[in-house]
Amino acid sequence: MNDAGANNKNGLLEKGRSGILHVIFGRSAVVLVLILIQLILMFLVFDYFRKSVPYFFGGHLIIALALVFIVLNRPSNPAMQLSWVVIIMISPIVGGLFYFYVETHPGQRILERRLETLYKQTAKYITQDEEIAQKLAKRDKGTARLADYIRKHGNFSVYQNTKVTYFPLGENKFEAMLQELEKAEKFIFLEYFIVEKGYMWAKILEVLQRKVAEGVEVRLMYDGTCAFNYLPYRYPDEIKKMGIQCKMFSPILPVLSTHYNNRDHRKILVIDGKVGFTGGVNIGDEYINRRSPFGHWKDTAIMLEGDGVEGLTQMFLQMWNAFALEKDKLDYEKFCLEDVRPLAKEERGIVLPYSDHPLDSEFVGESVYINLINSAQKYIYFFTPYLIIDNEVVTALILAAKRGVDVRIITPGIPDKKMIFLVTQSYYPQLVEGGVQIFQYRPGFVHAKCAVCDDKIATVGTINLDYRSLYLHFENGLFLYNNDTVMDIKKDILDTLEDCNRIMPEMCKKNMFFLLLQGILRIFAPLL
């Protein structure tokens, strides 16, 4: 066999193994097992208990109604409740078992308790400069109240003395990232949803290894569910041999894991507590357009220098310690109380790093977006890769448009997930009819997660306008007020609109089969 044939065969084998691993380790295994249980029970009933069939289906109905009652009386988003209700009514045994499996998984409860403890422990290390808070309150009471909400429910402070640099593309961030990594003297913290082998990771790893040799402390954390797509499962052991401390967030176990629902979607890089990066850019070659599986990849990122980096440092330490043994937990005082010198130039405006996690009852990410929509007077513009939102967000967007606010949303022209894109497009008719302007990015895929409002407020981070980001994933963002970077974000969105097609009302008309498919997908969208 020639080399090409051998490579092709190996590629097919690897693809086959990957598919098997996805079945064994993912939610598919759970669903298949539960369906099998249901089929076996039905077979037994029909084969051995023919006379009891009415009682069987009557029992099914009673179980279904009881489960629906439980679902509707638990605190949850109504759209997610509806999805569960439909599943349970179709198949009470499969749906019911799957619901309790997801909602009562002990790993989630343990993580919730750990995070609650860690947040209480770290509260004393993050203190708000009251002078800054009072200045904001005098200038803009509405924004001050939003900042106060974020502080109370995320334990993050409002900062000044912070330089903010906006990157309109992933390759811009990558270039700056390499430059700043080279300057590291004490520590480097990386927390990413995706770390994929390729050019980008190879260049970063090259710098990290060199910095380890110089005595710099380097720690890497990435989402465990993504390990099957991008990295070997034992990759942390390989990295540790290079002198880099490495953890997978919630490494999954065959069949027994539900962590696919609560994934670490954050993107954080902190260098010496003085420089920090966040935004939509993961570590993978498509994010810097070294490869193009979905056309041109439009992404954004932010670099902080100064006091505001403290918030990103705290986020990383909290998540790292949530999965560390007591003796291995990092000292907050060592890393969060770094001496950050005043910047040479006084930076205008306010920055507020914030995070959101799914194990409490506060949906900080969604609250920030809704507050911006409701407070907008002139315009509000969005970048989002997915548009799968609940009725509260839909209503807020339409009401804003109806009161004369210029509401624009940019979504991908080339989707990365076709089924999810169908769900995204199912929201177009209602929004367009309500006055919201929707645009699709012609050259490729939009992965950016940004919002900008009235030339004074913006947020950039990891939070998509979809159920998973808003309710299920660990996320982070950066709130900006009266900062020069706000106008950079606005300019980028307006420039990007030149490469977009606007969705017009006549483009939303579909045939009955297509509308039926979209309707079905909409029902199950919160669980996709």
Residues 312 and 401 in one domain: no
Residue 148 within a domain: no
Residues 478, 290, 465: CA angle, nearest 5 degrees:
35
Residue 119 within a domain: yes
Residue 358 within a domain: no
Query: What 8-state DSSP symbol labels residue 339?
Result: -
Residues 394 and 338 in one domain: no
Which one, of 412, 430, 429, lies nearest residue 421 by Cα?
Answer: 412
Residue 144 within a domain: no
Residues 100 and 115 in one domain: no
Residues 346 and 376 in one domain: no
Number of domains in the chain: 3
Which one, of 368, 379, 399, 330, lies nearest residue 480 by Cα?
Answer: 368
Q: Which residues, in sequence order, are CB contacts of 496 under 8 Å at separation 6+?
A: 298, 383, 410, 441
125: number of Cβ within 10 Å = 16
**Residue 389 belongs to domain with CATH number:** 3.30.870.10
Structure tokens belonging to residue 415: 């989707």
Residue 202 within a domain: yes
Note down the domain range covering 267: 109-139+155-351
117 half-sphere exposure, CB direction, 13 A CA radius: 10
Structure tokens belonging to residue 524: 């199950």
Residues 345 and 383 in one domain: no
Structure tokens belonging to residue 462: 């990891």
* Angle (deg, nearest 10), helices 199-213 and 170-182: 10
State the residue for tokens 């086959």. 16
Q: How far apart are CA 380 and CA 452, in angstroms?
A: 6
Residue 356 within a domain: no
* Angle (deg, nearest 10), helices 92-103 and 53-72: 30
Residues 301 and 169 in one domain: yes
Residues 119 and 48 in one domain: no
State the residue for tokens 């390989």. 238
Residues 327 and 460 in one domain: no
pLDDT at 14 (0 to 100): 44
**C-alpha dist (Å) from residue 142 to 160, 406, 457:** 18, 20, 11
- pLDDT tens digits, residue range 322-360? 877 666 777 777 776 556 666 756 677 899 999 998 877
- pLDDT tens digits, residue range 27-48? 555 556 656 666 676 666 665 5
Amino acid identity, residue 235? Y
523: number of Cβ within 10 Å = 15
Residue 146 within a domain: no
**Judging by beta carbons within 10 Å of its beta carbon (0-12, 13-18, 19+), is residue 130 exposed, middle or buried?**
exposed
Residues 230 and 347 in one domain: yes
Residue 412 within a domain: yes
Residues 523 and 395 in one domain: yes
pTM: predicted TM-score of the whole model, two decimal places: 0.83
- Helix-, strand-, coil-residue percentages of the chain, each rounded to 5: 55, 20, 30
Residues 343 and 376 in one domain: no
Sign of CA dihedral 86, 22, 262, 373: negative
Would you give the end-to-end CA distance of the chain in angstroms? 42
For the chain, list residues with pLDDT below 50. 1-26, 254-256, 258
362: number of Cβ within 10 Å = 14
Residues 173 and 33 in one domain: no
